Each structure stands twice: as structure tokens, then as C-alpha cells.
Amino acid sequence: MRPALPGLALLAVAALATAGCGQSGDRDAARATTTRFLAAYDGEQGELACAALSEDTRKELESQEQRPCPEVIGEVELQPGAVEHVDVAVTNAKVDLAGGGSVFLSEGSDGWKISALGCKPEGEPTNSPLDCELEA
């Protein structure tokens, strides 16, 4: 027996509505993680800033600098600015900042974490590949 067409249409509408809600929640969560990181970075609160980084990104920073993340995160060259735009694609997000840079995040079991930061286009045009100050 085949389900009635109106029932299928209602299921499709409900699925689309649910997907849109999840996307909005993910954008809000990625924005919040980025905002917390930038506030900690600006406030020279290394431990809080490092808590926003993914484990791999934190390890990469510590490997490059041969010091603990909280001691060196403030040395990463960033041009922080207000969050202007957030794009989410499944478990990855790109957050564009007013200063012209971008931050990339990944969603894991512990929420959204920063996987790359201080990212800017390598040259003109601005849609060229991005070069990041720190990435895993």
C-alpha cells in the first residue's frame, strides 16, 4: 500500500523546516565560538582562547612554537573584528570577520572548535585561495 501524497508532502516540508532550524543553530554556535575566542584573544586570556581551538589546531600551534598554547596564542597575528557572516556546510563553518579575515571551524562531539584562523586571500582577487596564520 502506498502512502497518500499529502502525507509525503507534509513529511518533506517538515524535513526541510527541521534542516533549516539546524543550520541556523549551527550558525549561531559557530558565531558564539568565534566571538568567545576573539574576546579571549583580545583580553589576553590564553587558556580561554586555546579552549576554542580544535585539538589538532592546538597541537599544531604548540608544535610550531615549542611552548604551551596559552603562552603563545597571543603571538598569532590576527586582525580581529566583529563577525560579519557565517556559512555552515554540514560539520564545517567559515566565519568572515569585519577586519577582512576568516576563521574556519569544525563540529565534533565537543561542539564547534576553530580549525584555522587568521585566514586571508593570498592576493587579488579576494576569491583566491586563503592563507592562514594557524591551521591544523
Q: Where are the domains of the chain?
A: 5-135
d(CA 13, CA 10): 5
pLDDT digits (tens, 9 = 90+) for 3-30: 443 433 333 333 333 344 457 889 999 9
Query: For the segment 84-127, what is each residue's pLDDT rounded down to a tens digit?
Result: 999 999 999 999 999 889 999 999 999 999 999 999 887 665 56
- CATH level 3 topology of 5-135: Nuclear Transport Factor 2; Chain: A, (3.10.450)
Instruction: Answer left, alpha or beta for residue 133, where phi above 0 means left and psi between -120 and 50 means alpha.
Output: alpha
Q: CA 95 to CA 36: how far, in whole Å?
A: 13
Residue 7 to residue 24: CA distance in whole angstroms: 26
CB 38 within 8 A of CB 48: no
* Length of the chain as a residue count: 136
